[in-house]
Amino acid sequence: MIRKKTILTLIISAFLFNLFATNNFLTPLYNCYLTKEWEKGINYLDSLLSLEKNPEKIIILLIEKGDIYFDKLRDYKKAEEIYQEIINNYKKSKLLPEVYYRVGLLKELQEDYLNAAQIYEKVAVEYPKSKYAEDALDAIERCFKKNYMERIAIVDGWPITQIEFDERISRNPTAYEKYEDKLKLLYEMIDERLLYCEAKKKNLFPLIKDNYEEHRKMLLFQQWYNDEIVNKVKVSKKEKKDYYKKNKGIYIKEEQVKAREILVKELQTALDLREKFLKNELIFDSVAKDTTINLSPHKQGDLGYFRKGTYDKTIEKVAFKLKVGEISKPIKTKDGYILLKCEDKKPKEVKKFKDVEGDIELRIKNEKINKYYEEKIKSLMASASPVIDTQAIKENREEIAKFNNITIKNSQLQERISKLPPFVRPQFETPEGKARLVENIIQEYLILKEAESVKCYLRNGVFGPLQERLKSLLINELKKEEISNKVIIKEEELKKDYKTNLKDFFVPEQVKAREIVVRSKELADKVRMKLLKEKIPFDSLVKEYSVSQTKYFGGDLGYFSKDDKHKPKEVISFAFQANKGEVSKPIKLNDTTFVIIKKEDHKKAHYRPFDEVKDKIERKLRKEKEEQLYNEFIADLRKKANIEILLKEEQEKQEEEK
């Protein structure tokens, strides 16, 4: 029996020695990260520690063990004990600054900002070239906000500093100019603290864990992508110059002209206007801005700067021949006659390398990033050797893929499909689509494993935002548990509110109409004749003749009531007196604007039925009850807390005077 145990121990030792020799000794651990088998990971590390004699490898294993307690199990006390063991027993290790940094994060998580800042400073100053030196500098700034001695409130010993307060005000300065508004903001910050502490006390983390993990995963992916892909791609000066020479054509700025147009229906009108412009009897720009004369769809007739190929060739041919300030002869188009005025010209030019170097670097870098990312994914997939069982996918079996001793299940796949937008979902419900999605899931697992192995969660880009997200999730969950879930709206309440506020659901008499707007009485008569005599559809005439913006919507004016302030009285008068389908005579709005109205529908005044507004009433009553419950809940939390307000009105007045 003893001999068998000895042989087994030798086999395990040989296996572990082989892992160490190939630098793959942490691979099984990171597989445990993917399956979330934390205890299994700790046991694996303990087995390695029991055999290892090399101090540096012992430190690596202890760090990994401490990281599980720190990041995975959230047992900060146990994690700090392990990190402290390394600091006490391995004072000359090159990995010491990384351990100090972790202790700093733990202190910060436990709101010991003073000691956290001192540890971060030690990392940044004494170990400036260490892995987390830059992160430590950012962390010092984070802690400084809490350590700042000028405080404006203290909540159960927890300070709100002037820096934090000013930072919140800076998001919307005009909203907090008065002392009363600043005090209101301060109480909001106090309430956030009280809610957060209450949520932690009630141990609500298990309820938001899935949401938290999803957000953590997203931040890890982004940090990994920045660190392992984006930041590792470099672009040399030679690459940029070669690209410029090869693609010089895209940096040629073609000749451009800036012009303004006046569009009129009749040739004689265009000729008369041009003559007056040339004699300086009228100013081109002024007429272009007059919408009663200029029918151009462009605001004030402004065509802006444009190159060849932007507008109709007939227009461009004239525009590019004009001199600056010159006015063209009338140009015939399908909409009428155009007069063009050339306002400016820009000659063709080739952009210099120094002017486009930044753009070139961005283009090359993006290309290299995409290529490097694809290569990285291929490498990860090749090393994992995943097996996707397409037959199992077709037959909807539970086990559909395997890699690194990890099984992808059909239930995971279905959950992923259910989270896709409805318009995307169908393409991933076929066997081929499911196989592609399984491959994506495997890739995500492998990237997550990589992100865990390089400790992306210790970086400021993950740590800071993740703590803010955690705080937000906990507060929202507390509100849900203590307020939203406790609100009950009965049917009788809804009906009572409906009867009490019936006037709010009154809908006045309304009509629906369409319009055709033209510039002359003669044209209005012509259009009406086409409607009534020639029976040409209203839509066709709107598109051809109307100069109103409603032409793009078939002339639709929508539903309107008698007291509509945006409709001309003459239009309202006709619409409410006419029969459904009746067409008005031309209605004069001013000397150059005439409108023809067609009545489409007529709705009598009525009260909206209860079933139609039931949901709206419920939302209103729920909001009222939630606000009442929230105010009571917050009042109770404030009453139990020791709150000291240090923001002084006199101090604020002095600041305003300064």
Query: What is the separation of C-alpha 83 from the centre of its chain, rounded to a whole number of angstroms?
Result: 38
Q: What pLDDT, in 10s, does the model give residues 154-168?
A: 999 999 999 999 999
Collect all residues with Cβ–Cβ distance below 8 Å to 629 and sequence separation of at least 6: 482, 483, 486, 487
Band of residue 656 on the pLDDT scale cut at 50, 70, 90: low
Q: What pLDDT, in 10s, does the model give residues 354-393?
A: 999 999 999 999 999 999 999 999 999 999 999 999 999 9
Q: Average pLDDT, stretch 648-655?
A: 62
**Domain-wise residue ranges, the chain:** 255-347, 509-604
DSSP assignment of 333-379 equals ETTEEEEEEEEEEE--EEPPHHHHHHHHHHHHHHHHHHHHHHHHHHH
pLDDT for 357 equals 93
CA distances from 581 to 224, 511, 604 (A): 65, 12, 17
Three-class secondary structure of residue 408 per DSSP: strand
Band of residue 7 on the pLDDT scale cut at 50, 70, 90: very low
Least confident of 88-92, 175-179, 589-593, 632-636: 589-593
Please name which of 505, 506, 507 lies closest in space to residue 617, comparing C-alpha atoms.
505
More confident residue, 590 or 61: 61
CATH placement of domain 255-347: 3.10.50.40
pLDDT of 20 above 70: no
Least confident of 336-350, 367-381, 478-492: 336-350
Check whether domain 509-604 has CATH 3.20.20.70, yes or no? no
Q: What pLDDT, in 10s, does the model give residues 82-139?
A: 999 999 999 999 999 999 999 999 999 999 999 999 999 999 999 999 999 999 999 9
pLDDT of 651 above 80: no
Residue 380's H or E segment, with its range, is helix 353-384
pLDDT for 298 equals 86
pLDDT for 654 equals 57
pLDDT of 6 above 60: no
Band of residue 348 on the pLDDT scale cut at 50, 70, 90: confident
* 255-347 and 509-604 share one fold: yes
Q: Average pLDDT, stretch 629-641?
A: 97
pLDDT for 655 equals 56
d(CA 399, CA 403): 12
Q: What pLDDT, in 10s, does the model give residues 397-438?
A: 999 999 988 899 999 999 999 989 999 899 999 999 999 999
